[in-house]
Amino acid sequence: MTAVTTYTSRVVRITIEYDGSAYNGWQVQNNAPSVQAAVESAVNRLTGGTGRVRAAGRTDAGVHARGQVAVLSLPETLPVERVPEALNSRLPDDIAVVAASSCEASFDPRYDCVMKQYSYSLTYGPVRPALGDRRSWHVKRPLDVAAMAAAAGLLAGHHDYTSFANRERAGEDNVRTVDRSELVVLPADAAGRGRLVYYVEGRSFLYNQVRAMTGTLFGIGTGRFNRDDIPRIFAARDRAAAGESAPPWGLCLEWVLYPGESRPEDRGGLVGR
């Protein structure tokens, strides 16, 4: 496919927020809606071109993002501060561009990334949530939250994460560094449901890794595992040794950092100064 753009273009970095519920993940696929296809469609309706949009992370089907980062080409005649509104007016309601800036043509959102943060939201208690919490995984059984919080840090570090990787990756290089693995306990909601957010940070992750780590932490909460099992789970290098993957709708890509950038919470949010 050849680009038919006739304008002088420049490379723009955008930050994207989306509710992944209606999409079969970030990446373009045949016969299934993807966030990438929706963003490319908006860009190409804006420019009349056929350009591609490349992102930092290929979020899985049903996974959300608050700060996905992507790169695309746009006409130089469009001021960069007008890019969010120009794209948002062409995007579906469940996708929004929250920031845009010019960047080097060599910028690669995937390989230049130095850190990503994922959050996994979980509520627990006998009554399922009816109002507004469809981005949490709700579990009915009681959880030993103290055991989960104490064990979470053991899932961080420099390890072979084969036990947390898709089975097709067995035998490949599955060594990764997880810089943060922390369970934050929020106050119970008005209906008495417990609320947990599990934060995981690192430069790169295996497909399904965060959901497998979450499922393992859940197994600690239910008593299936205890913290002494974690070294054994790593050593097994076998997906069956860890917990089942938690469902996608609790997972959200919070932010992606590049060299020289401070964490969003230290600068007042994704679009803070």
Positions marked catalytic: 60
Q: Does 201 bind a second copy (CB under 8 A)?
A: no
Distances (CA, A) of 259 to 140, 156, 203: 42, 22, 11
Q: Does 272 bind a second copy (CB under 8 A)?
A: yes
Q: Does 67 bind a second copy (CB under 8 A)?
A: yes
Q: Which of 273, 131, 120, 122 is nearest to 210 (CA)?
A: 120
* Residue from 40, 47, 64, 206 binding a second copy (CB under 8 A): 64
* Residue from 13, 19, 230, 243 binding a second copy (CB under 8 A): 19
Residues 75-104 contacting a second copy, CB under 8 A: 84-85, 88, 91, 93-99
Nearest-approach distance from CB 266 to a second copy, in angstroms: 13
b or e along 56-81 (b: 16 or more beta carbons within 10 Å of the residue's beta carbon)? bbbbbbbbbbbbbbbbbbbeeebebe
* Residue from 17, 40, 201, 229 binding a second copy (CB under 8 A): 17
Q: Which of 159, 193 has the CB closer to a second copy?
A: 193
Q: Which of 171, 268 has the CB closer to a second copy?
A: 268
Q: Which of 84, 248 has the CB closer to a second copy?
A: 84
Q: Which residues bind a second copy (CB under 8 A)?
A: 15, 17-19, 64-67, 84-85, 88, 91, 93-99, 126-132, 134-135, 188-192, 252, 254-255, 264, 268-272
